[in-house]
Structure 1
Amino acid sequence: MNKDYAVIGLGRFGGSIVRELRVLEMDVLAVDVDENRVNEFIDIATQAVIGDTTDETVLKDLGLGNFDNVIVAIGDNIQSSILTTLLLKDLGVKKVSVKAQNDYHARVLEKIGADVVIHPERDMGRRVAHKLASSSVLDYLELSDEHSIVEIMAEEKLSDQSLLDLDIRAEYGVSVIAIKRGEDIIVSPDPTVNIQKEDILIMIGNDDDLTRFEKSLTR
């Protein structure tokens, strides 16, 4: 087996990652301490095994030190999540991505060397809040604690004006990196191109600046 990806913890979050990686035709080792969960993924993952990943011997027996990407999606057991992450980094895994239960958990994970800390509940909450607050916001993707990418529908207020006319970067400090127009995507759009109603603007910037721009659309 080409051991590129391993997912530890097969709850709702970890299970969805396994399924999506398999859709993308990636080889995935799925691991959980719960036999019933493992049985659910026998026909989905490339290999599904029962294992307690807080035991270094188990990790070595599974060959996890040879994986380039390991996702730790352990549910409510923060201690197991932290210990598993620590052991994986000690084994030399190149990239360990870990689901954080809260900010304290995230800080500990960062201190022990987690390469990526994922906040699924918090991030989803932010996405939903932005969509609810503005009918123009179609999607919201957090890049860091302070920067995000947002998709905004160009409604009447923006239509028939160019990016140059709107001067979005100078006024709000955010950049339009692409425009979706029907089936087409205009990457790095010419600032003189007029925006059409129902264009989707893909914007990147500081969260505060993006929020200011979103608010300007509702005035």
Structure 2
Amino acid sequence: MKYIIIGLGNFGASLAEKLTTMGNEVIGVDNNLDRVEAIKEKITHAISLDATEFNAVTNLPLKDTDVVIVGIGEDLGANIMATALMKQLKVKRLVSRAVSSLQEMVLEAMGVKEIIHPEEETAERWSKKLNLEGVIDSFEVTGEYSIVETEIPKEYDGQTLQEAGLKRKYNIIVLTTIKISGEKNEIGVNKNVSSVQGVASAQTILHHGDVMVLYGNNRDIKKLLTKIRTSDRE
């Protein structure tokens, strides 16, 4: 996959390096030339430019990029402006960083659905989340096993876990399901609210659009997610 990371501070640089080592094409962007020089040998490309300037960012290969991450942390105004430009230019998938609740509300009001909280979430966790399509969130248990959240696909809608047969077919355990509903935040913007449905059993009914929490070998999880992705595109 192809990523553009705007802001090469500690979090952005670490995320850029981890996504590169996973075999992805990563373009790092920062207006600080020293940061660009420090990382240019570790990722695919590193560019010095002002991501708040329209003419500058239009030179980036945005149409060919799968995910744009705005990781600017120290300058809240620059973060908001860069994020607004990415929204205006209609990038395929946009992830932005928030360091305060107010900033998060502003990003939500702008329609940003995926928000990073670096003080709570590590670059390691986000690199895995971004690298595997279909993953909402993930937690590594060991080097080979993970707990992963993914949206329940249409083909499982209305089925019980026993009928879906994920344990039998993929050797994956569904720990629980999470119902997603909408409510308005403090400034009246709609946001998703998660409600855990308790420990899953063979008779748990799956609903398209909700989330299932999987546990298993990374290889088996990737196999399932690839099958889900392929089915959704047919």
Taking structure 1 as the reference length, the TM-score comes to 0.57
AA partner of residue 58 (structure 2) = K
User: Partner residue of 2:173?
Assistant: 188
- Give yes or no for the alignment of 1:21 onto 2:2: no
AA partner of residue 24 (structure 1) = M
The change in CA–CA distance for 1:27 and 1:123 in structure 2 (over 3 A counts) is closer
Shift in Å at residue 188 of structure 1? 2.5
Shift in Å at residue 113 of structure 1? 2.2
Equivalent of residue 7 in structure 2, options 3, 6, 9: 9
Equivalent of residue 88 in structure 2, options 87, 90, 95: 90
Shift in Å at residue 115 of structure 1? 3.2
User: Partner residue of 2:46?
Assistant: 48
Shift in Å at residue 97 of structure 1? 0.4
User: Partner residue of 2:107?
Assistant: 109
The change in CA–CA distance for 1:208 and 1:80 in structure 2 (over 3 A counts) is farther
Pairs aligned (count): 147
Offset from partner CA, 1:87-112 (integer Å, 9 cap, x none): 11111101110110111101111111
Shift in Å at residue 186 of structure 1? 5.3
CA contact (8 A) 2:176 2:197 kept: no
CA contact (8 A) 1:149 1:204 kept: no
SS at match of 1:30: strand
Shift in Å at residue 204 of structure 1? 6.1
The change in CA–CA distance for 1:150 and 1:48 in structure 2 (over 3 A counts) is closer
Instruction: Give the 4+ runs in structure 1 shifted more than 6 A.
Output: 148-151, 207-210
- Give yes or no for the alignment of 1:74 onto 2:75: no
Offset from partner CA, 1:108-150 (integer Å, 9 cap, x none): 11111223111121347xxxxxxxxxxxxxxxxxx69xxx979
Work out the CA distance in 1 between the residues paired with 2:100 and 2:18: 25
Percent identity, please: 30
The change in CA–CA distance for 1:150 and 1:28 in structure 2 (over 3 A counts) is closer
User: Partner residue of 2:30?
Assistant: 32
Q: Which structure 1 segments of 5+ residues have no match?
A: 125-142, 152-177, 180-184, 190-201, 211-219
CA contact (8 A) 1:59 1:65 kept: no
Q: Which structure has the larger Rg?
A: 1
The change in CA–CA distance for 1:27 and 1:118 in structure 2 (over 3 A counts) is same
Offset from partner CA, 1:161-186 (integer Å, 9 cap, x none): xxxxxxxxxxxxxxxxx99xxxxx95
